[in-house]
A = this chain, B = another copy of it.
Amino acid sequence: MNKDCPVTLEACMGMIRPVRDALDVLSGKWKIPILISLSFGNKRFGQMTRDIPKITDRMLSKELRDLEVNGLVQRRVHDSVPVFVEYSLTEYGHSLDKVIHELRDWGVKHRERYAEPDKVY
């Protein structure tokens, strides 16, 4: 029984759809690291390249633009000399705090479970 139950199918899609939406916004290797970096305070471009190990300028630039388009990050140019560009999390960006927190918690437990002491970052 319950083979292809339409209620289950509906419920299933009701979960899958929004989870996909969320993961689309966060997709790629660098978006969450960038959000984490900004969660510790407003940052400049160069500072973030140092915060996030192994990220290239190209990736940081590209991903910051994506995040800006999605309203998670704000880019402010101060017209001092030399120019000074400041990135910060928007309020909307902060709405991801809980998601990131849960991911971190699970990741910590997972790491304890399958300890990989030789993995390098």
Interface on A for B, CB 8 Å cutoff? Answer: 2-4, 8-9, 11-13, 15-23, 25, 29, 32-33, 36-37, 39-41, 47, 50-53, 71, 92, 95-96, 98-100, 102-111, 113, 121
Contacts and interface: CB of A to CB of B under 8 A. Distances in A.
A30 B53 CA distance: 28
Copies of the chain in the assembly: 2
Nearest to A11: B40
B110 A15 contact: no
A111 B16 contact: no
Contacts of A100: 15, 19
Nearest to A38: B12
11 contacts: A9-B50, A11-B40, A12-B37, A13-B121, A15-B39, A16-B36, A18-B107, A18-B111, A21-B107, A23-B32, A98-B106
